[in-house]
Structure 1
Amino acid sequence: MNGPTREFWNERFVTGNIPWDRGEANPQLLQWLADDMLAAGQTIIVPGCGQGWEVAALAAVGLQVTGIDFAPQALALCRRLLERDGTHANLVDADVLHWQPTAPVDAVFEQTCLCALYPDYWTRYAAQLHAWLKPGGKLLALFLQAPRASSAEGFIEGPPYHCDINAMRALFPATLWEWPKPPYPRIENRRIEREELAVVLIRK
C-alpha cells in the first residue's frame, strides 16, 4: 500500500504526535450544527475520526454517529472522550476503503480522512462516500489546502495531501453530486498553519 500504514497512524496516536488535532471540534462543524444542517436522530459517519472531538459533538446533539478509524489507539481515545461526556457512538475499527454500513446514512462528515489517504486511493474513497449516503444525503466536507512547490515537478508530498479544488471537482463530479456555488468558507487550523475549504455536497 502506498502512503502511510495503519502502524504509522497508530504510532502517531500512541505518542501524541497529532499536530492537526485542535483539542476541540472543528468550528465549521459547530457552525453547520448551529445552522441546522443536521437534525437529531439522523445517521452520520465520521471516517478517520481520530481522537473523536467531532464524534462527541455530533453525539451530544442527538445524532446517531458511527466513527471509523483503523488506528486502535485513536478509537481508544475517542471511546474515552465519549465516556467522559456521557455520550454514545458506534466506533468501528475498519479500513474506509472496504467497510460498508448496514444501511445508507443521512450524512458524512469528511475532515481529515481524504487528505490522509495517498491520492491513488481517492477515487475508491469517493465511491465509498457516494455508496454510504442516501440519495439527497449530505457530504459535509473540509478540503485541506496544503499546496507544495514540489508539486510543480510532479512530486506527491504528504500526509496531509493537498485537496486542490479542481481535483475535488473531478473526484466528486456534478453528475453524482450537487455543488454549492463558491466562494466557500476557509477554516484556519493554526496548529498546522493550513486552511480548509468548507463545502456541503448533496448526493444525487
Structure 2
Amino acid sequence: MAGPTTDFWQARFDNKETGWDRGAPSPQLLAWLEGGALQPCRVAVPGCGGGWEVAELARRGFEVVGIDYTPAAVERTRALLSAQGLSAEVVQADVLTYQPDKPFDAIYEQTCLCALHPDHWVDYARQLQNWLIPQGSIWALFMQMMRPEASSEGVIAGPPYHCDINAMRALFPAQDWRWPKPPYEKVPHPNVGHELGLHLILRQGR
C-alpha cells in the first residue's frame, strides 16, 4: 500500500506528534453547525483522529460513526466521548474497504483524504459516494499545502498531501456532485497551510 501505514500513524500518536490536532473541533465545522447549514442526521467522520468532531456532532444530536484504522485514534475518540458523557459509534477499519450497515446522509471529510497517498484517492472518493444516500452531502475541508518540490519537480509529498482544487473536481466530478461557486472558506490550520471548506451534494442519479 502506497503512503503511510497504520504503524506510521500509531507512532505519531504514541510519540505525541499530532500537530494537526487543534485540541478542539474545527472552526469551520462549528460555523456550519451554528449557522444551521449542517443539521442533525446520520453522519460519518472518516479518519476521526482525536475525535473532536465526532464528539461535537454527537453533542448536537447527530447519529455519528467515527472511522479510523489506527488503534490509538479509536481509543482516543472513545475516551473523549466517555469523558464528555456522549454516545457515538467508533469503528476501527480501513476507509478503503469499510462498508456501513446502512447509508449515511452526510460525511464530514477533514483529515482523511489529505492523509491518504494520492494513489488511493480515486478508490476513496468512490467509497464516499457509495456510503451516501442519493442527494447526500460531503462537508469537506480540503488541505492546501503545496510544497516547492511538488510544484517544481512533481514530487508527491506528504502527509498531509496537497488537495489541489482541480484534482478535487476530478475526484468529485460535476456530473455526480453539485459544487458551490468559489471562493471557498479559507480555514487556518495548525500545520503550515490552510483548508478550503465547501459543501458537495451528491446528485440524484448515479
- How do 1:115-194 and structure 2 match up within 5 A? 115-151=114-150, 152-189=152-189, 191-194=190-193
Equivalent position of 1:51 in the other structure:
50
Q: Distance in 2 between matches of 1:178 and 1:103?
A: 23
SS in 2 for 1:33: helix
Counterpart of 2:13, as a letter, is F
Q: Distance in 1 between matches of 2:154 and 2:39?
A: 43
Equivalent position of 2:194 in the other structure:
195
8 Å Cα contact 2:99-2:131 kept in structure 1 = yes
CA offset at residue 81 of structure 1?
0.5
CA offset at residue 150 of structure 1?
1.0
Counterpart of 2:61, as a letter, is G
Between stretches 146-155 and 48-57, larger displacement belongs to 146-155
8 Å Cα contact 2:136-2:201 kept in structure 1 = yes
TM-score between both structures, scaled by the size of structure 2: 0.96
Structure 1 stretches lacking a partner, 5+ long: none
Structure 2 stretches lacking a partner, 5+ long: none
Equivalent position of 1:39 in the other structure:
39
Q: Distance in 1 between matches of 2:114 and 2:195?
A: 11
8 Å Cα contact 2:4-2:117 kept in structure 1 = yes
Equivalent position of 2:77 in the other structure:
78
Q: Distance in 2 between matches of 1:163 and 1:14?
A: 27
8 Å Cα contact 2:104-2:133 kept in structure 1 = yes
SS in 2 for 1:66: strand
Q: Distance in 1 between matches of 2:104 and 2:157?
A: 33
Q: Distance in 2 between matches of 1:106 and 1:35?
A: 19
Equivalent position of 1:25 in the other structure:
25
Equivalent position of 1:61 in the other structure:
60
- 2:93 counterpart of 1:108: no
Q: Distance in 2 between matches of 1:166 and 1:181?
A: 13
TM-score between both structures, scaled by the size of structure 1: 0.97
Counterpart of 1:170, as a letter, is A
CA offset at residue 197 of structure 1?
0.2
Deviations 1:48-103 (A, max 9, x none): 00010000000000000000000001111111100111101100000000001111
Q: Distance in 1 between matches of 2:86 and 2:54?
A: 10
CA offset at residue 38 of structure 1?
2.5
SS in 1 for 2:81: helix
Deviations 1:103-123 (A, max 9, x none): 111100000100000000000
Q: CA RMSD in A?
A: 0.8
List structure 1 runs of 4+ shifted beyond 6 angstroms: none
CA offset at residue 39 of structure 1?
2.3
SS in 2 for 1:141: strand
CA offset at residue 13 of structure 1?
1.1
Counterpart of 1:65, as a letter, is V
